[in-house]
Structure 1
Amino acid sequence: MTAPRPPFTAPDIPIRSGSGPLDVVKLGLQDYELMWHQQADIAAARAKDEVTDQLLMLEHPSVYTAGKRTQPEDRPTNGLPVIDVDRGGRITWHGEGQLVCYPIIKLREPVDVVDYVRRIEEALIQVVRQLGVTSAGRIDGRSGVWVPASDGRPDRKIAALGIRLTRGVSMHGLALNCNNTLEYYEHIIPCGIDDAGVTTLSLELGREVTVDECIEPLAAALTDALEGRLIVADHTFGSAPDPCKGLGKRKV
């Protein structure tokens, strides 16, 4: 989304408060609820400077999760359960073949949520474009990374974001669709958006793109973005209504 003001931190300055190493932790397939609680524990320890900043890289078994802005009409029509969580945004799905990354980062003060989100998006855009989806960019009014309409298909989301900040430390994060099924998206209104689609790297590129292939490039790009070596640029190709604007927050 378009930043309403210049960032608090200069674009080429780290947004992280610490200068220690950014640890990349590969966790494989992890239960969503267990990982949610582990995130909270790590974030609490990071707030007290007991651990360093971390990028948790993993996949989840198939699960729907609903952020604080989720509406009743968003919820699945296939009868599967939903986990209500404390991140922003509305409902989404996670499953095998989708790379999930939870950056547990203590942010520089004054904390700038918009700048943090834009840097995360910039890293994702770089990775998706490097892999071959060169048209990927932003839609003003909507978070995440998008592929513009083409060949009779609408604009479609290839990577989603949903974050929470607690005591200046980030939780939750991003999901990059690699070679996952899109079947489960058909039973919800993904992110509360009913006028666009969802896609994967494999579908866009016509070849199998695995989670393992994307872990190292994503870790490198996120590190560069958070350190100020990858500068946020204008990759906007369209605009659309914000699906969370004017909606109250559900209590978790």
Structure 2
Amino acid sequence: MFDVMEPGYAPHPVPYLEGWELQREIHRQVASGERPETLILLEHEAVYTAGSRTEDHERPAASATPVIDVDRGGKITWHGPGQLVGYPILRVEERGGIVAIVRRLERLLIDVLAERGVAGRQIEGRSGVWVDQADAPPAKIAAIGMRVAHDVSMHGFALNCTHSLAPYDAIIPCGIRDAGVTTVARETGRALSPREAAACVARAFADAFERIPA
């Protein structure tokens, strides 16, 4: 079994550092056996987060949005209102390893997107969920970046729901130059709030992770 925590959505999104502190405390509790595995679902205030492989030229040259260096892998990305962020805090070995967890997250997000009429897919060699574009390279609609400590995962995924794509113009999202970024609203012409998306993701997560693989 696992818990689902939902500490905040618009109009009260969670400041990134507050969410990070919550992650660390829940991670400590799961690693020590004090609580079951936990999925945190929330919406953040606007922020850029830079993973350990972020290079200087990939950061925003000048921005009123804060940039926070974090202890996950990967490069720089944006979080903010209109985006659903999920932090799966899972026992990695029991779940078949971190790569298996990432692939399962991609598949469940693809299923959630399909319910909304969006055809997401995986791309070999690149994490996250992608949407094919008619006259452009595939665009990322969900990003994934995780870290493992004491055999328990933290950080996680971001599903682009309804927000503007303008914040990505100031960075090289996830360090990828030859692909774009998109949202559910852009692909369908219909708004999808993070709170609405969270209900779908929680159900899909239960289907994907309720059973521990043999």
TM (norm. structure 2) is: 0.92
Cα offsets for 1:19-60 (capped at 9, x unmatched): xx3211111121101211221111111111101111111011
Identity value in percent: 49
- Contact 1:125–1:145 (CA<8 Å) still a contact in 2? yes
Distance in structure 1 (CA, Å) of the matches to 2:85 and 2:144: 10
Distance in structure 2 (CA, Å) of the matches to 1:208 and 1:110: 34
Output the amino acid matched with 2:81.
E
Q: Is 1:213–2:196 an aligned residue pair?
A: yes
Identify the structure with bigger relative contact order (alpha carbons < 8 Å, sequence gap 6+).
1
Q: Is 1:126–2:126 an aligned residue pair?
A: no
**Secondary structure at 1:26 match in 2:** strand
RMSD: 1.7
- Contact 2:43–2:80 (CA<8 Å) still a contact in 1? yes
Output the amino acid matched with 2:156.
G
**How far did residue 111 of structure 1 move?**
5.4
- Contact 2:95–2:101 (CA<8 Å) still a contact in 1? no
Q: Which structure shows the bigger proportion of residues in strand conformation? A: 2
- Contact 2:95–2:212 (CA<8 Å) still a contact in 1? no
Q: Is 1:83–2:73 an aligned residue pair?
A: no
Query: Which one has the largest radius of gyration?
Result: 1
Q: Which residue of 1 aligns with 2:78?
A: 93
Cα offsets for 1:62-84 (capped at 9, x unmatched): 10000011111110123343100
The total of aligned residue pairs comes to 208
Q: Which residue of 2 aligns with 1:114?
A: 99
| Unaligned 5+ runs, structure 2 | none
1:154-165 alignment, distance < 5 Å: 154-165=137-148
| Unaligned 5+ runs, structure 1 | 1-20, 231-252
**How far did residue 87 of structure 1 move?**
0.6
Q: Which residue of 1 aligns with 2:50?
A: 66
Please point out which of 28, 31, 37 is paired with 1:47.
31
- Contact 1:111–1:168 (CA<8 Å) still a contact in 2? no
